[in-house]
Chains A and B, each alone.
Chain A
Amino acid sequence: MVSFIYLFYAWLIAVALFSLLAAFTSIIALRFGLSSFGTYMTTAVFLAVSVLVIVLVGGFAMTVDWSQTVNLFPASAPTLGL
């Protein structure tokens, strides 16, 4: 049995890693890109979509009861019809 809270921590670590890489990529795009509307626009769209997804999923995560446990494979097999 795995506590749900560990899955939430795993998600947080993945989001932190994503944020770090996204920040590096955006800095490189703005640092070395041509000073033009296209550069600003593509970087802004990338960051806006990223923030939107993180905020939406984060908002959803607030509604989940993370104290429950799950047995990832055997318990889900009957539910999945396996």
Chain B
Amino acid sequence: MIDAHHLPNEIPGEQVVYFLRRHPITISNLIIGFGAMLVAPFAVFGILYAFMPEVVRDARLFPLIVIGGSIFFLFAWLFLFQAFIDYYLDMWIVTNKRILDIEQTGLFNRRVSELRLYRIQDVTATVNGALHTVFNYGNVEIQTAGEKERFDFEDVPNPNQVAKVVMQLAELDRKEHLDEAVEEFGVPDKMPKPTVK
């Protein structure tokens, strides 16, 4: 399991700032769909009981209805849980040293990417659409100097706040890793250049 106090490859002095997942509203369609599937066996049984009671009372047909309905329910329940796991295991962990992007695709595919904060060049928050605006969720795009040039947080709550905090953390981390940052981005204009006498 991922322990909030002991992240994988922990860096000394590292503290978790954000645990981010997609906004729960993004899986509402899925939950409504699977919820309807879970209710379906009971609804069919209710309809049969109301309009065709002889089928329900038939000693041979009733076991078939129960067994068929139970299998349908169990697999709908399993697929609902798998869809939830797919959502729940996708997360972005922001610490004061780095960002971890954990992506679960299906049951057996998992990708973990890591980005050190001092490598961040630019952070952009976008909130597009009425639903996104009402529920205040959107994307945070992080431009990096690494091989993987972009790092995206998709449909996270409070994207503007997250972008602001990530930028502040990146600034602080850059000061701690000045040598690496200068090597990565070059010498900033404000920095006094050495003079030769």
Chain B residue, CB-CB nearest to A17: B75
- Please determine whether A50 and B1 come into contact, CB atoms closer than 8 angstroms: no
**Complex interface residues of chain A between 22 and 78 (CB less than 8 A to chain B):** 22, 24-25, 28-36, 38-39, 42, 46, 49-50, 53-54, 57, 60-61, 64-65, 68, 70, 76
Q: Is the interface of B mostly helix, strand, loop or mixed?
A: helix
| Interface mask (B71-105 → A, CB under 8 Å = 1, otherwise 0) | 10111011001101100110100000000001010
- Please determine whether B77 and A49 come into contact, CB atoms closer than 8 angstroms: yes
Kindly state the separation between the CA atoms of A79 and B61 in the bound complex, as whole angstroms: 9
- Please determine whether B89 and A29 come into contact, CB atoms closer than 8 angstroms: yes
Count of inter-chain pairs, beta carbons less than 8 A? 96
Residues on A with C-beta less than 8 A from B84 are 42
State which size class the interface on B falls in.
Answer: 35 or more
Q: Is the interface of A mostly helix, strand, loop or mixed?
A: helix
Chain B residue, CB-CB nearest to A4: B63
Residues on B with C-beta less than 8 A from A70 are 60, 64
